[in-house]
């Protein structure tokens, strides 16, 4: 208000005001300048109104929208997860009944494991949509990624869909998380496939966006951008469906999470990019992902963490597998990590809390790596434990695991993170890397 009056321009604001008895109310205030014929300020016109009832109605409507979104999420997630749990539990039962036939048991266990990993990816989709998934950006040539991923895309699209690539040569690299980019591309192409039930052609194209006119057209700040464009000949979307296309939990495909385009939108936003969707009923849809080039100064920095080579050298001289301290409050998860590490020949110590872990360290136990969960009930989180260990044992490598990245600070912090759920080989690879023992 002060700035508007100083600049002699109109201003309209909603204020939380108070009556003489201290009762709060919402106060809509408008102030506008009145000028004479020569443009000189004569006076201000002001009006105000009690809009408490209107605000309460708006808040009730927003709350109803939130509850509807939660209902859609519950239904969609329940549908998808129940299918996955059916596969997991059913195959584990088959494996139990097939103990006298190791080959049949192994096949059933493999099916259960694949379903469990798909459940993990579904969770990651939800977190990516919410922008609470930690990305690991690296220099990526989008052309190379599309070409290398094209075989998988062709299999996903099926025989009725022709995939056409129109890739601009000499494309600059971008700072992107390659795995999440592949997932985003796959989500868009699955939508394109579903929009063409009778078959058709879908084009994946790349281009360079630079120049003031083109940047202004896309609402982008100054810099060089990579345009990843997916064009289909499908049914297209009505204006109402297009308006809600990236809305979380919104879907036109029946039961499902409705997180596909919401996840794409979240990933593009996290990558400092822009998502644009153009669609015309009966003519098809164009989805455009615009990412800053790595040399434009807009992209994200790398989050790769260096290994502790000096400490690893001392371990190698010892000639034995190092000892890992596993800190996890969930008994089942902790015992699983212990089993995986022990089966690979590591020495393993375990603690159910940060306080127990510190007690082991202070007691002089030989520990070569701290592997800790982030969220633990009680007085100390995994991050607080890592901070204390860095103070008291600065040369001890720390590997952190979590399934909820919102509990982590920004990318600038020096954290080595393994996302849950993780595979047997992922854990071992990250432990080897943290100890500087990459093969």
Per residue in 367-377, pLDDT (tens digit) is: 999 999 887 76
pLDDT in tens, 53-72: 988 888 887 777 667 666 66
Using alpha carbons, select from 33, 16, 34 the residue that is nearest to residue 25. Answer: 16
Q: How confident is the model over 6-32, as a mean pLDDT? A: 92
How many CA within 13 A on the CB side of residue 424? 11
Confidence of residue 46 (pLDDT cuts 50, 70, 90): very high
Check whether the bond before 421 is cis (ω within 30° of 0). Answer: yes
Bridge partners for 34 per DSSP: 43
Q: What is the pLDDT of residue 71?
A: 64
Q: What is the pLDDT of residues 380-398, one digit of tens each?
A: 888 889 888 989 998 999 9
SS3 424: helix
Handedness of CA 109, 428, 304, 149 (dihedral sign): negative
3-state SS class at 31: strand
Separation of alpha carbons 194 and 254, rounded Å: 12
How far apart CA 144 and CA 141 sit, in angstroms, is: 5
What does the buried/exposed string (b/e) look like for 393-419 if buried means 16 or more CB atoms within 10 Å of the residue's CB?
eeebbbbbbbbbbeebeeeeeebbbbb
> What is the per-residue pLDDT for 125?
60
**In terms of Cα–Cα distance, which of 273, 268, 291 is closest to 173?**
291
Q: Which of 272, 310, 266, 317 is nearest to 290 (CA)?
A: 272
Instruction: Specify the DSSP class assigned to residue 283.
Output: T
pLDDT score, position 72: 61
Give the model's pLDDT for residue 319: 47
Q: Cα(378)–Cα(153) distance, rounded to whole angstroms?
A: 46
Give 118: exposed, middle or buried? Use CB within 10 Å, 0-12, 13-18, 19+: middle
Pairwise CA distance, residues 338 & 348, whole Å: 6
Task: Judge whether 55 and 16 are in contact, CB under 8 Å.
Answer: no
Please give the pLDDT value at position 197: 86
- In the numeric block, the tokens 């040399």 are attached to 295
Please determine, for residue 311, whether its predicted confidence score (pLDDT) is greater than 50.
Answer: no
Give residue-wise pLDDT tens across range 399-411.
Answer: 998 876 555 655 4
Of 108-122, 180-194, 281-295, 335-349, the range with the lowest mean pLDDT is: 108-122
CB 330 within 8 A of CB 304: no
Residues forming a β-bridge with 16: 26
253-272 per-position pLDDT tens digit: 554 445 567 778 888 888 88
CA distance 373 to 402: 6
What's the mean pLDDT in 208-236? 84
SS (H, E, C) 296-311: HCCCCCCCCCCCCHHH
| pTM: predicted TM-score of the whole model, two decimal places | 0.46
- What pLDDT shows up at residue 128? 55
Both tokens of 196, joined, read 């063409």
3: pLDDT strictly greater than 80: yes
Q: How many angstroms from the chain centroid is the CA of residue 55?
A: 33
Percent of the chain exceeding pLDDT 70 equals: 80
Looking at 5-14, 207-216, 355-364, 369-378, which range is the least confident one? 207-216
Q: What is the pLDDT of residue 177?
A: 86
- Helix (H) / strand (E) element for 156: namely helix 142-157
């Amino acid at each position: 208000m002060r700035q508007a009056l100083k600049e002699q321009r109109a201003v309209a604001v909603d204020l939380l005001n108070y009556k003489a008895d201290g009762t709060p109310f919402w106060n809509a205030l408008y102030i506008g300048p009145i000028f004479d014929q020569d443009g000189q300020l004569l006076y201000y016109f002001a009006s105000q109104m009690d809009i408490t009832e209107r605000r309460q109605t708006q808040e009730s409507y927003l709350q109803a929208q939130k509850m509807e979104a939660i209902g859609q999420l519950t239904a969609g997630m329940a549908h998808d997860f129940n299918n996955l749990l059916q596969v997991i539990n059913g195959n584990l039962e088959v494996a139990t009944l097939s103990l006298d036939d190791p080959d049949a048991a192994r096949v059933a266990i493999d099916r259960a494991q694949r379903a469990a990993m798909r459940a993990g990816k579904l969770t990651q989709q939800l977190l990516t949509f919410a922008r609470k998934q930690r990305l690991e950006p690296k220099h990526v040539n989008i052309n190379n990624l599309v070409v290398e991923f094209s075989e998988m895309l062709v299999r996903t699209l099926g025989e009725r869909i022709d995939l056409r690539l129109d890739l601009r040569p000499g494309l600059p690299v971008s700072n992107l998380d390659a795995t999440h980019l592949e997932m985003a591309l796959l989500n868009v192409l699955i939508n394109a496939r579903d929009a063409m039930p009778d078959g058709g052609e879908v084009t994946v194209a790349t281009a360079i966006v630079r120049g003031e006119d083109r940047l202004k057209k896309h609402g982008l700040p100054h810099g060089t951008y990579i345009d990843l464009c997916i064009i289909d000949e499908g049914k297209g979307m009505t204006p109402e469906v297009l308006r809600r296309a990236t809305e979380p939990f919104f879907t036109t495909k029946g039961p499902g999470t409705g997180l596909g385009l919401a996840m794409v939108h979240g990933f593009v936003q996290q990558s400092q990019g822009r998502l644009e969707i153009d669609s015309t009923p009966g003519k098809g849809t164009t989805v455009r992902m615009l990412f800053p080039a790595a040399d434009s100064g807009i992209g994200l920095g790398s989050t790769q963490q260096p290994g502790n080579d000096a400490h690893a050298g001392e371990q190698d001289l010892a000639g034995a597998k190092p000892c890992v301290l596993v800190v996890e409050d969930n008994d089942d998860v902790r015992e699983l990590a212990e089993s995986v590490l022990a089966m690979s020949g590591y020495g393993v110590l375990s603690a159910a809390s940060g306080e127990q872990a510190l007690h082991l360290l202070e007691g002089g136990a030989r520990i070569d790596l701290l592997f800790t969960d982030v969220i633990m009930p009680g007085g100390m989180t995994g991050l607080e434990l890592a901070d204390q260990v860095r103070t008291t044992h600065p040369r001890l490598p720390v590997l952190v695991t979590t399934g909820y990245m919102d509990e982590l600070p920004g990318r600038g912090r020096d954290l080595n993170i393994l996302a849950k759920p993780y595979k047997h080989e992922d854990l071992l690879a990250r432990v080897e890397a943290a100890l500087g023992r990459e093969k």
